[in-house]
Amino acid sequence: MKGKAEVIIGAQWGDEGKGRIVDALADRVDVVVRYQGGANAGHTVVVEGEKHVFHLLPSGMLYPGKTCVIGNGVVVDPDQFLAEIGELREKRKDKARLILSEASHVVMPYHKIIDEAEEKRRSKGRKIGTTKRGIGPCYADKVNRIGIRVGDLLDPDTLRAKIIENLEIKNLLLTRIFNMAPIPFDDLMEKALGWGQQMRPYIGDGTAIVNEALDKGSGVLFEGAQGTLLDIDHGTYPFVTSSSASAGGACIGTGIGPTRIDRVLGVAKAYCTRVGEGPFPTEELGEIGERLREAGGEYGATTGRPRRCGWLDMVALRYAVRVNGLGGIALTKLDVLTGLEEVKVCTRYEIDGKRHEILPSRLPEREDIRLHYESLKGWSEDISECRRIEDLPPEARDYVRFIEENCKVPVVLIGVGSGREQTILCGL
C-alpha cells in the first residue's frame, strides 16, 4: 500500500473491531493517524495473546518503526494520553514515533464534569448515554472558539488568558446551574502547565507530517473512531457523538485534501451492537440478544457497559456505504454467529408506509418502524482456524456473499476470532 491513503471507518454504531483491522493493515503502511473523537473510543488489539486497549493512541502504536499521529480533529484528555504512553513504555512497547497535533483540543477537567452533569439533567428518553469523557462539551467549546488547544499548553501567556476566559463562564455554570463547587484557577493552571511539560516531546505539526508522508509516497492509514451512525451530521442525531466519525472526518481532522484519499474501508460486525441510548431498529431484547452479547463479549471497552445486540442491519450498512463511499467491507466477528440455526438480516424498513432500503438521513425518533428480515441458514462448525474463504462452511460463505450482493461492496477481510492471525484476507 505504499504511497496510498486509506481510511478505516466504523460502518455501524462503533465497536466494530476497527482497532484489530488497523493493526492487521498497519504493517503495510508507514503512518497511522487518529483524526476524530477522543478517549471515548476503545480500540482493542490482541497481540500474542496479550490484550491492549487504546483510547487515544492510534492502534498502530504496537508496530516498531511506524509514525503515529493524533490529528487536529481529536480531543485529547492529557491524563489519559500520558497514562497510555506510560503503560506502553512500561511494557516496552513504545516503539512507534508519536506526534500529537498542536491544533488538537484539550479535554479539560470541567468538560468531564459538565458532560456528566448535563447527562444527569436530561430527562428520560432524552439521555444520550455518553461515555462521560467530556467529548461533547470539549467539541462545543472548539466550535464556540473558546477551546484550549494542545499547542496552548506550551505557551503560558495564552494558556493563562484562555483558562481565565473559560473559568469565568464554566464556574458560573458549575455553581449556579449545577450546584457544584467552582474550579480554582491556580490549580488548573498548574496542572495544565505540567501537562504541557510532559507532552512537549510529542507535540508537533500533525498536518505537515501527514501531508509530507503522502508527498513522498508513504502509505498512510486513517483510523476512524466510533461509527457512521454516531457521526454528528450523519448519525442518528441527537443520539450521536460530537465528531465526524464518517470518512469525511479524515480530511477535516488531519488537514489533507479529499483528493488524496485512495480508498475507504468500512468495518462492520457480522451482527449489530450499540452502546448508549438512541434508535437501534434491529435490537434483540430477548434470548438472541443475550446470546450475541455473551458469545461476542459485548461489553464496552471504555465504560464496561453491556452493549445492546441485534441482527445485521443491511439498511444501515447500505447507508454507511453511501455516506462514506466505501470501497470494501471488513466483516468482523463472523465466528460469533457460529452455532445459530438461523441467521437473520434486516433488508428493508417501512416508515409511514414508505419502503426504505437505505436509511433516510433523518431517522424519526419513533419505534413504529416496520422491519423486513431475510433468514439464512446458520452453521455449527468452528471457524476460528479458517484462514482462507474456502475454509469456511458453505453457509458462512453464503452469508458473506449475501452481504456483498446486498450492499454491492466486496468483503475484503473477515475476522474469525480476536487474535491478530485470526483473519481471512480476501481482496486486500
Nearest Cα neighbor of 225 from 5, 14, 2, 12 is 14
Taking the C-alpha atoms of residue 89 and residue 233, their distance in angstroms, rounded to an integer, is 37
Q: Is 141 a catalytic residue?
A: no
Would you count residue 275 as binding ligand IMP (CB under 6 A)? yes
If one asks whether residue 58 binds ligand IMP (CB under 6 A), the answer comes out as no
Tell me how far apart the alpha carbons of residues 93 and 114 are, in angstroms, rounded to a whole number: 35
Dihedral sign from CA coordinates of 203, 209, 211, 214: negative
Cis peptide before 394 (omega within 30 of 0): no
Q: Is 335 in the site for ligand IMP (CB under 6 A)?
A: no
SS3 content of the chain, % helix, strand, coil (to 5): 35, 20, 40
11: helix, coil or strand? coil
- Cα–chain center distance at 374: 29
298 part of the interface to ligand IMP, by CB under 6 A: no
- Write each residue from 72 to 101 as x if it is in contact with ligand IMP (CB under 6 A), else as -, in one continuous string: ------------------------------
Using CB atoms, what's the residue nearest to ligand IMP? 276
Q: How far is the CB of 413 from ligand IMP (least distance, A)?
A: 20
Pairing of strands 5-10, 263-269: parallel
Q: Is 236 in the site for ligand IMP (CB under 6 A)?
A: no
Q: How far is the CB of 39 from ligand IMP (least distance, A)?
A: 9
Helix (H, G, I), strand (E, B) or coil at 406: helix
43 is catalytic: yes
Asked if 230 interacts with ligand IMP (CB under 6 A), we say yes
Q: Which is nearer to ligand IMP, 14 or 147 (CB)?
A: 14
Q: Count interface residues toward ligand IMP (CB under 6 A).
A: 19
Closest CB to ligand IMP among 40 and 338?
Answer: 40
Residue 199: name the closest of 84, 72, 91, 109 by CA.
Answer: 84
Q: Which one from 30, 43, 141, 313 is the annotated catalytic residue?
A: 43
Burial 383-392 (b: 16+ CB within 10 A, else e): beebeebeeb
Q: What is the DSSP letter of 151?
A: G
Pick the stretch among 76-84, 179-187, 223-231, 327-335 that binds ligand IMP (CB under 6 A).
223-231
Q: Which is nearer to ligand IMP, 124 or 408 (CB)?
A: 124
Residue 7 near residue 261, CB atoms below 8 Å: yes
Under rule CB under 6 A, residue 244 binds ligand IMP: no
CB of 139 to ligand IMP, least distance (A): 9
Q: How far is the CB of 115 from ligand IMP (least distance, A)?
A: 7
Task: Give dist(CA 299, CA 304) in Å, integer.
Answer: 5
Q: Rank residues 42 and 289 by Cβ distance to ligand IMP and give the closer one.
A: 42
Separation of alpha carbons 292 and 375, rounded Å: 17
241 belongs to the binding site for ligand IMP (CB under 6 A)? yes
Which CB atom, from 14 or from 328, has the smaller least distance to ligand IMP?
Answer: 14
Which one of residues 226, 254, 332, 418 is an interface residue with ligand IMP (CB under 6 A)?
226
The verdict on 135 binding ligand IMP (CB under 6 A) reads yes
Q: What distance in Å separates the CA atoms of residue 187 and residue 184, rounded to the nearest whole number? A: 6
Cα–Cα distance for residue pair 128/276, rounded to 1 Å: 6
Is there binding between residue 60 and ligand IMP (CB under 6 A)? no
DSSP H helical ranges for 4-148: 18-26, 78-90, 109-121, 135-143
3-state secondary structure of 10: strand
Q: Which grid coordinates are listed for 211?
A: 501531508
User: Among residues 100, 128, 150, 424, which is the contact residue for ligand IMP, using CB under 6 A?
Assistant: 128
Cβ at position 241, least distance to ligand IMP in Å = 3
Cell of 269: 460486525
Q: Catalytic one among 15, 77, 152, 313? A: 15
- Over the window 169 to 208, marking each residue x when it contacts ligand IMP by CB under 6 A and - when it does not, the resulting string is ----------------------------------------
Q: Which residues bind ligand IMP (CB under 6 A)?
A: 14-15, 40-42, 128-131, 133, 135-136, 225-226, 230, 241-242, 275-276
Tell me the catalytic residues.
15, 43
